[in-house]
Amino acid sequence: MSIWWLLPAVVGISLFMTGALRRYALARSLIDIPNARSSHSVPTPRGGGVAIVISFLLVLPLMARGGFIAWPLTWALLGSGTGIAVLGFLDDHGHIAARWRLLGHFAAAIWALFWLSGLPPLLMFGFTVDLGWFGHALAAVYLVWLLNLYNFMDGIDGIASVEAICVCIGGAFLYAILGFAGSAQLTVWVMPVLLAAAVAGFLFWNFPPARIFMGDAGSGFLGITLGVMSLQAAWVAPQLLWSWLILLGVFIVDATFTLLRRLLRGDKVYEAHRSHAYQYASRRFGRHLPVTLAVAALNLFWLLPIALWVGWSGLDGLVGLAIAYAPLIGLALKYKAGELESR
């Protein structure tokens, strides 16, 4: 069985299902109404990210049965992704207390790590370091933070979709350059390509100006799925974890920098706000499109070459991470990430 006929099928399912979900959201009044903490000005349906979830998860058993994807990775993605999507869907339809959401997030992370065999040994400054149970706990926190930051960063039209597609394309390109595309490790090449196809169908409706928003179901799903893929890649080659962290740099730096600033100020971090760098930038430019396109450019022309440098040419991962993140931190400072909005 070839995966190539599946790619347009996944795009098509996501595309048409997003349209159906838009009609459903309009009929059920599942609308984001702009308020003082919003980055949009027009009431817009939400929950379209369910199309990404379904179109991607539908093909996983087919890929596993065809021998393209290992069953442990399939169960990791199916279980964690479904759990987070259902939790997000319920939260989109009615509020779920933060403590119960967090409990569900850790349950999904633990499920994924069980099937992945936890955190692989890390490669740092030429040495391989096995962190044992501490590493597994660290990996759980990493997955939970990644799915939450993806939710935080899904605040303007198209940004979360474009980020996911760029990261997936970068990940697939990494594996092709490193020679895994034609080997028994085909798994790591197939997964990001299929996810990019699922997100591409949704992006047709979400590209600025968006006709539907992703919602918590889609953003949380993308966060944990990309996290699982990054850990799986590290089992293939230890340096690839650093490469994936570099590819995810735009979201990681903005969300983490903003969170730390708000924590130091004593803010309630789960309260809605619009103090991320990308939100300040969208207000400065007066629209979302330039910021979304800038995120794509940063991913493809800055982060991807450094990720390839780490994965292919032997640059130490921590050094590469520092090089990649330095200008992103500069942009976070320039666009006042985490600062109180002046009134």
Encode pLDDT of 161-188 as tens digits.
999 999 999 999 998 877 664 444 555 7
Residue 192 preceded by cis peptide, ω within 30:
no
Q: Is residue 341 part of a domain?
A: no
Between 45 and 96, name the one with better pLDDT. 45
Which residues line the annotated binding site for Mg(2+)? 151, 216
Does any domain span residue 188?
yes
Residues 6 or more apart whose Cβ sits within 8 Å of residue 14? 51, 52, 55, 197, 198, 199, 200, 201, 202
- pLDDT greater than 90 at residue 109: yes
For position 330, what pLDDT does the model report? 97
Reported as a pLDDT band with limits 50, 70 and 90, residue 142 is very high
Average pLDDT, the chain: 91
Is residue 343 one of the residues assigned to a domain?
no
Which long-range contacts does 119-128 make (Cβ < 8 Å, 24+ apart)?
Answer: 119/231, 119/234, 120/231, 120/234, 120/235, 120/238, 120/241, 121/238, 122/234, 122/238, 122/241, 123/238, 123/239, 123/242, 123/317, 124/316, 124/317, 124/318, 125/316, 125/318, 126/316, 128/238
- The share of the chain scoring above pLDDT 70, in percent, equals 94
Residue 34 included in any domain: yes
**Sequence letter at residue 210:** A
User: In which residue are the tokens 């007066």 written?
Assistant: 286
Classify residue 309: in a domain, yes or no.
Answer: yes
Domain hosting 289: range is: 6-334
User: Percent of the chain having pLDDT more than 90?
Assistant: 71
Number of domains the chain contains: 1
Alpha-helical segments (H) within the chain = 6-27, 50-65, 71-93, 98-116, 132-153, 159-177, 187-206, 215-236, 240-247, 249-265, 277-285, 289-298, 304-313, 317-334
User: Tens of pLDDT along 199-214?
Assistant: 999 999 999 999 999 9
Closest alpha carbon to 224 in 11, 14, 57, 21: 57
Question: At 38, is the pLDDT very low, low, confident or very high (cuts 50, 70, 90)?
Answer: low
| For residue 122, pLDDT beyond 80 | yes
Q: Does 326 map to a domain? A: yes
Binding residues: 151, 216
pLDDT for residue 13: 96
> Is position 225 within any domain?
yes
pTM of the model as a whole: 0.94
Cβ-based neighbour number of residue 86 at 10 Å: 16
Asked whether residue 171 is assigned to any structural domain, the reply reads: yes
Give residue 97's pLDDT: 85
